Amino acid sequence: MHLVFNELALSDMPQDNAEAKRIMDGFISCYGAIMKSGLRFSRSIKTDRNLNEIDLNGNFPIAQWRNRTDKDTALAFKAICNRQIVYDLSEDEVELECEHGTGKGLLCAYINGEVAISLASDVFWESFHIDSILRDIANDCDQQVRVPNISKEGHINENYEQIRSVFFDEALEYQTAGQLLTDLGSLFPYLLFHNAAIGQLETRVEAQHVPAIARKLFELNEYFSNWADGPFDPNKFKTKISPESQATLKKYKKQHTFSYAGSDVVVSYHLRYTGNIAGRIYFHPDHKTRKGLICSLTTKLQSVSF
C-alpha cells in the first residue's frame, strides 16, 4: 500500500519561511516514523507533482528548503524523491471535496483504499480522518466519505490498529501483474476471469496499479463468497459500486458485451481505481454459479457523458 501526497495542504503553508521549514522538516520526520512503524507501506509516495519541484509557500522553493535544513533530513527527502510515483490523475467523472478544496491526492487515496500523507500546515490537516464529499458527476450524486490521513508522528501510535485494518495483507504481497496472474485461482475462488481480463493482466496492467486492483478483487471475492441466495446487492460492498446508465448500455451495448461459456453477458457494474488511468474493474454477477465474472481491468469502457 502506498502513502499518497495530499497537495491541498501546500495551499495552507505559512508565508513565514522559518515556520514553513519547520513544517517540511516535520513531514520528513513523520514519513520516517511511518517507515519504522512496522506498517507495511511502500517506501514510494504517490504524488500528482514532482516533490523535488514544489514551492512551499509561493516564495520558498523546495531547493531553498534543502539548503536550509540539516544534511540527514535533506538526504531523506532525496530518497523520497528518488522513489516517488508521479501520477497524472485522469479525468474520471468523480471528484473529492473537503473544507479546504478539491483534492487529487485525497481522491486517489480514497478510491484506491490507501492513506494520505499531509504537511501539518493547518489544524485541519492534523486530523487523522479528512471528512469529504465524493461527487459522482456522471450519476449526479454525492456520498459522505472519510479519508485516513497521517500528518504527525502521533497519528501512528494513536491509530495503529485502525491503520492496520486498512490493509488486505495478501493483496500487499502482489506488486506485478505476473505475480497476480500466477495465483488468480487460489486467491479468488469465487471469481471467474474472462480471457479479456487475463490478456490485460498479461500485457496492459501497469505495476503501479496492481495493489489497487488486487484490493478490489479481494473485495469482490469476499462478497461473492457470501452470496448464497437472493438477488445481487451492490449496497453490501464496502466500496461504492457503480452501474452504467441505461443510455450507455443502449448506445454502447457492443462495447459492454462479453462472450463467456457460450453466452453473451452485458456488464454494467464496476469498481473504480485511479492513477495514470481512470481505472475500472467491470464484472457481472453470475446467478447460476453465484460467482463474479471479471470482464475488464483497465480503462473505462465507452459511456455516455451527460
Give a yes or no: residue 110 inside a domain.
yes
Q: How does residue 254 score in pLDDT terms, banded at 50, 70 and 90?
A: very high
Do 190 and 160 lie in one domain? The reply is: no
**Is 176 found in the same domain as 153?**
no
**Percent of the chain beyond pLDDT 70?**
94
**Considering the domain boundaries, does residue 132 fall inside one?**
yes
What lies within 8 Å, CB to CB, of 268 at 6+ separation is 243, 244, 249, 256, 284
Are residues 48 and 133 located together in one domain of the fold? yes
Domain contains 214: yes
Secondary structure (DSSP) of 12-53: G--S-HHHHHHHHHHHHHHHHHHHHSS----SPEEESS-GGG
Q: Which three cell numbers stand for residue 65?
A: 528548503
| Residue 278, H or E segment | strand 278-286
In a domain, 130, yes or no: yes
At 115 the pLDDT is 92
> Residue 241 falls within a domain, yes or no?
yes
With beta carbons less than 8 A apart as the criterion, state whether 45 and 3 touch.
yes
- The reply to whether 271 and 150 lie within a common domain is no
Q: What is the mean pLDDT of residues 240-256?
A: 88
176 contacts 277 by C-beta, under 8 angstroms: no
Question: pLDDT at residue 171 above 90?
Answer: no
- Per the listing, cell 481505481 goes with 273
* Selection from 139, 103, 265, 243 nearest residue 197 by Cα: 265
What sign does the CA torsion over 15, 63, 88, 220 have? negative
Instruction: Tally the C-alpha atoms within 13 A of residue 42's C-alpha that lie toward its C-beta.
Output: 23
For the purposes of burial, counting CB atoms within 10 Å of the CB of 218, is it exposed (0-12), middle (13-18) or buried (19 or more)? middle
Closest CA to 268 of 296, 226, 231: 296
Across the chain, mean pLDDT equals 89
CB 115 within 8 A of CB 1: yes
Report the range out of 31-45, 56-70, 132-146, 223-237 with the highest average pLDDT.
56-70
Q: Residue 92's pLDDT is what?
A: 65
CA dist., res. 273 & res. 213, Å (int): 7
pLDDT at 211 over 90: no
pLDDT at 169 over 60: no
- Mean pLDDT computed over 213-231: 90
pLDDT surpassing 50 at residue 306: no
pLDDT at site 159: 83
Helix axes 71-83, 17-36, angle to 10 degrees: 60
Q: Is the pLDDT of residue 64 over 70?
A: yes
In a domain, 206, yes or no: yes
101 forms beta bridges with: 98
Residue 175, phi then psi, degrees to nearest 5: -115, -10
Residue 87 has a pLDDT of: 84
Instruction: Decide: 171 and 218 in contact? Cβ < 8 Å.
Output: yes
Question: What is the pLDDT at residue 305?
Answer: 64
- Percent of the chain scoring above 90 in pLDDT: 56
Q: Can you tell me the mean pLDDT for 150-179?
A: 77
Mean pLDDT, residues 248-269 taken together: 91
Assess if residue 180 is contained within a domain. Answer: yes
With 50 as the cut, is the pLDDT of residue 33 above it? yes
Q: Which domain holds residue 248?
A: 172-296
Average pLDDT over residues 245-263: 90
Per-residue cell: 20: 514553513
Residue at a domain's end among 113, 139, 166? 166
Separation between Cα atoms, residue 107 and residue 110, nearest integer Å? 5
Over range 166-170, report the average pLDDT.
56
Higher pLDDT, 274 or 125: 125
Lowest mean pLDDT among 3-7, 118-122, 153-157, 242-246: 242-246
Minimal CA–CA distance to 105: which of 130, 136, 127?
130
Cell 459500486: give the residue.
Answer: 241
254, part of any domain: yes
- The pLDDT value recorded for residue 143 is 84
Mean pLDDT of 113-135: 93
**Does 156 lie in the same domain as 177?**
no
